[in-house]
Structure formats: structure tokens, C-alpha cells
Structure 1
Amino acid sequence: MTFRYDFAPTPFGDALAVFSDEGLVRFDLSESDDPSVPWLLEDVAAQLQALPAPDPGAADEVTALLDEYFDGSPVRFHDHITLDWRLIGGFARTALQTISTIEWGETMSYGEVAVLAGRPGAARAVGTACRLTPFSIIVPVHRVVRSDGTAGQYGAHPERKRFLLDLESHR
């Protein structure tokens, strides 16, 4: 299995896009101003047990879809990009696959996702899945909100979640 990476621009800075022979395996909005910092690639390499090779242009399709998305088009990324789910399993994977079905401009609570994913009462586990997603933006975890309708967190960047929810509410 070979792995390669490229970067895709977002309003939050460049995101690291890692691909396997099977599809997009990780899309990471870096916590750093420079997503090419060694620790990020080391983290990905540790998870994959292989060092991804640079592949300029590999993220061109993702970039084009992101451009449409951030221009306000209701893009369903999983309709265009094959996702390689190897970095997440169990209920977290089921929860993220359920979240992938939430439509543009819609939201669900953590508890609602848990019910649809087959584990009523597992709202906290849904929150953990959202935090651990290997597919930032691509799997719309920003569409999962608290039961009272407030946005909640988005990693360490709740302002990013608010930005994405606001973007989708203007359609």
C-alpha cells in the first residue's frame, strides 16, 4: 500500500490531504499555520505505519470541491471522493458514516446521531467520533450540535464550526 499527500487551501489555512491506493485516508485542518510541519506528517505516518510521499496535484479534486463548497454550493463530498476509513473503526466509524448523511444546512444533535447509528444513549461517543474524525469538513461533523441547538465545539476552534454552519445557512 502506498500513501501520498498534498495540501488543499481552505479559509482556515492549508489542510493536509493524505491518500491511499483506496482513496482519501485523512483530511486534516492543522492546528499550525504550516501544515507541513514534521510532527503532523509523523503523526500520520505513525497511524498508517508508512511515511506518505509528497504528490503535488493529488488534492486537485478535493481543492475544486472545497472551492465550490466555500463559494456556497451544497457539495456532498462523499459523492465525489472515495473515503478510505482505515484510521477509524467501531462505533466511531458508524457514527461518522451516519453524520455523512446529514444534508447541507441541516443539523442533528449528538443524541440524534447516536440513535440513527444504532446506539441510543451514546451521545458522548458521537462527540468523541467527531473529535477524532480523520476527515475534517469532508465528513460534516460541524453539522452535529448540542441538544439545545447551540453549536458546541469543533476541536479547539468553535469559530470554525460557527463559520461552516453560517456558510451553510445562507443558501
Structure 2
Amino acid sequence: MLTWTTISSPLGELMLMATESGIVRVAFEREGFDAVRERVAGNLGVGLVEDSAPFAKAQSQLDAYLSAARRGFDLPLDWSLTSGFHGEVERLLPSIPYGETLTYSRLAALAGRPKAHRAAASACARNPLPILVPCHRVTRSDGGLGGYLGGIDAKRFLLDLEKGKSR
């Protein structure tokens, strides 16, 4: 069974989805919640139930993080939507320290494939757990922000939040 809820945040509405193993997907409203629910349920071959109760801890931690009162998350995650090199890259993302960034090239090197910067960028773009798994901390080597599932404004917000810049 796949449980889901939506929560309000400074980044707009977010949808959280979880299996019995943990949170499996965080989605931004701009992705289209109906389409995301349908895709995830189809990929996992499970039914959907809306229920906010299982997400109380996640909402509390997200609220604290997005108000700069928390630097990380202590939540069970379900990595079912990741595999291969993308999965390897995504599992490295939590090791990037709060308030710091690294480049897609450096991330690829850390994953053992130094020339695979485009694949590392693709892994970040497809990260099913944005915010919780901080792909926003990865930038282009020319200093540009690169893309972000929640949009560039959301990425800039998260980076500024972590650097202690006023919002």
C-alpha cells in the first residue's frame, strides 16, 4: 500500500508518499500530484490511500528544516524508485554537508565514474526524494545552479536557507 498526503511549505505544496518501508517520494506541486501518484503506484504495483497521520514526523522535520531550525532528517526512506548508477549517486547525496555544495563532476567522481557528470546530473534531476536527499546541493562546475525538480527558485531558496542568507 502507498500512503500519501500533501503539506504546505515555503516552497508551495509538497506531496509525501510512503510505503511500509519509508518515504518513497517527495513531489513538488509543479510536477502534477495526480500524475506523480499514478506513476509511483504503477511503478510499485500498489494501491493508494490518502492519510496524513503516518507523515507527522516527516512534516515536523520538514517544517523545522525549512525554517532553519534543523539541518538534516532522521526518517526512514524507501529507495525502491532508484537503481543502478542513479541509485548510487542518490545515496551519496546525504553525505554533502549542510550549507555546502559540490559539482556534478565531483559527485560523479565520488560515485566512481569521474567522466559521468551528465549521468550524475540526471540522477539528481530524477531524485525521487528531493529536500530529504539533498540534490539541491549539487551545482554546475561553471558556478551555475543547474536544474532542480522543484524549479530554480526552489533550489536557490534551499541553498540560501542553508547558507543562512535572509529570504
Taking structure 2 as the reference length, the TM-score comes to 0.91
Shift of 1:145: 0.3
Matched, 1:64 2:64: no
Matched, 1:41 2:37: yes
Deviations 1:48-104 (A, max 9, x none): 111221112222111111111111134222xx1111101110110110111111011
Contact 1:15 1:28 in 2 (8 A): yes
Shift of 1:15: 1.3
The range that moved more, 66-75 or 101-110, is: 66-75
Percent identical pairs in the alignment equals 35
From 103, 106, 114, the counterpart of 2:100: 106
Aligned to 2:13: 14
CA RMSD of aligned residues (A): 1.7
Alpha-carbon distance in 1 for matches of 2:18, 2:71: 20
Unaligned runs of 5+ in 1: none
Unaligned runs of 5+ in 2: none
Contact 1:94 1:117 in 2 (8 A): yes
Deviations 1:147-171 (A, max 9, x none): 1222122136111111111111117
Aligned residue pairs: how many? 165
What is the identity, as a one-letter code, of the residue corresponding to 1:57? A
Three-state SS of the structure 1 residue aligned to 2:13 is strand
What is the identity, as a one-letter code, of the residue corresponding to 2:12? G
